[in-house]
Amino acid sequence: MGSVKDLEVIERPHGIKMGRGRFHFSDRFSVFDWGPMPDEIPDKGRALCVTSSYFFERLEERGVRTHYIGIVENGKVRHLDELDGPSDVMEIRLVRVIRPNVMQGSYDYTPVASAERNYLIPIEFIYRNSLPEGSSVFERLKKGLRIEYLGLNRIPDPGERLEKPIFDVSTKLEDTDRYITWDEARELGGLSEEEIEEIKKILATVSNVVNERISKAGLWNDDGKIEMAFDSERKLMVVDSVGTLDECRFTYGGRHVSKEILRMIYRKTQWYDEICRAKERSMGDWRKLCSPPPPLPGEVIESIGNLYKSMSDEITGMRFFDSPPLRKVLKDVFNTLMEFEERAKNTNL
């Protein structure tokens, strides 16, 4: 299905009828739209599956519809508190994925906008509770993004916590994701104004649910993204994954605690400079213009693996993984990151 998880289709969606399938969460990871990177992170798949299942179950309790059915263990579909151990398989309701046509270098969303029910909305919906250093919003503001679009009356300082979350949107099914306006999202996704407002309410609920749990661990939920779909009755539901280190950007004492760490590491490499130039030169398969990404040192992979596992245990309140306590893991991750940055100054990665 994708670069970090695989899809098993049990019953294919067709017309207005939803199907059924299973996500197999892998230990792969991807950054900067590249696809699978050279390394795998031990137990990342099971940690993501358990964490996302926890938040799906909390959202259902709040009245938010999702595509989540349960976690698969020994061939049986169960809820989180029924598991004997962690699983990397989640059973879900499937909807149609209707891709835009590519015409003369641009994307035509007519097939999506004309669909009525049972389809993935080809947009990533983003909430932001703060704008940490390195947030794409700052670069977009430099390029002309108006702060009024974000519902702000001034540019926040990096890391400043916002009084209320701001909402943002980007494309999902294009070769390289791009930020768009809410008006564009409404048009591309075939949405009404009322549905846009409902999506924003769901975004706020997701933000609150994740905030409540993450804050108990002493972390801050800077931002996160969700995907949405229409079911067979054109009711909105949250799909894909939610609340994990891959969907959210958390910080601890102002320092990144999420997949953003992997992005930070790769930004120190020559490979990152290559892909930035390639994206500027090509709207098509820019990856052909780049050399393969370099593998990461073993100690980095081990630290990141412990982070995924410890975060999963901290969020669920269950001891699924034999990993050190989160505070110790965070200390180790930060030390490993500093050592890598120092090494990167003296080598050509």
Secondary structure of 174-233 in HEC code, one letter for each residue: CCCCCEECHHHHHHHHCCCHHHHHHHHHHHHHHHHHHHHHHHHCCCEEEEEEEEEEECCC
Provide CB contacts within 8 A for 86, sequence distance 6+. 43, 46, 47, 49, 50, 312, 320, 321
pLDDT category at 1 given cuts 50, 70, 90 is low
Mean per-residue pLDDT, 282-289: 80
Mean pLDDT of the chain: 92
Residue type, 30: S
pLDDT category at 215 given cuts 50, 70, 90 is very high
Q: The domain spanning residue 74 has which CATH number?
A: 3.30.470.20
pLDDT category at 240 given cuts 50, 70, 90 is very high
Mean per-residue pLDDT, 92-119: 92
The answer, yes or no, to whether residue 280 has pLDDT greater than 90, is no
Provide CB contacts within 8 A for 141, sequence distance 6+. 147, 155
Q: What is the pLDDT of residues 132-161, one digit of tens each?
A: 777 888 888 888 888 888 888 888 888 889
Q: What is the DSSP string of 141-163?
A: HHTT--GGGGT-SSPPPTTPEEE
Asked if 7 and 26 count as a contact pair (C-beta separation under 8 A), the reply is no
> Which region among 50-54, 213-217, 279-283, 317-321 has the lowest average model confidence (pLDDT)?
279-283
Determine the pLDDT at residue 283.
Answer: 61
The answer, yes or no, to whether residue 345 has pLDDT greater than 70, is no
Determine the pLDDT at residue 349.
Answer: 58
Determine the pLDDT at residue 5.
Answer: 92
What is the count of structural domains for the chain?
A: 1
Is the entire prediction scored with pTM above 0.75? Answer: yes
Determine the pLDDT at residue 82.
Answer: 95
pLDDT category at 2 given cuts 50, 70, 90 is low
Closest CA to 236 of 292, 277, 197: 197
Q: What is the pLDDT of residues 12-71, one digit of tens each?
A: 999 999 999 999 999 999 999 898 999 999 999 999 999 999 999 999 999 999 999 999
Mean per-residue pLDDT, 112-119: 92
The range of the structural domain enclosing residue 165 comes to: 5-346
Determine the pLDDT at residue 348.
Answer: 58
Determine the pLDDT at residue 124.
Answer: 97
Return the exposure string of 136-151: e unless at least 16 CB atoms fall within 10 Å of the residue's CB, then b: ebeeebeeebeeeebe
* Residue bearing tokens 């994206």: 279
The answer, yes or no, to whether residue 84 has pLDDT greater than 60, is yes
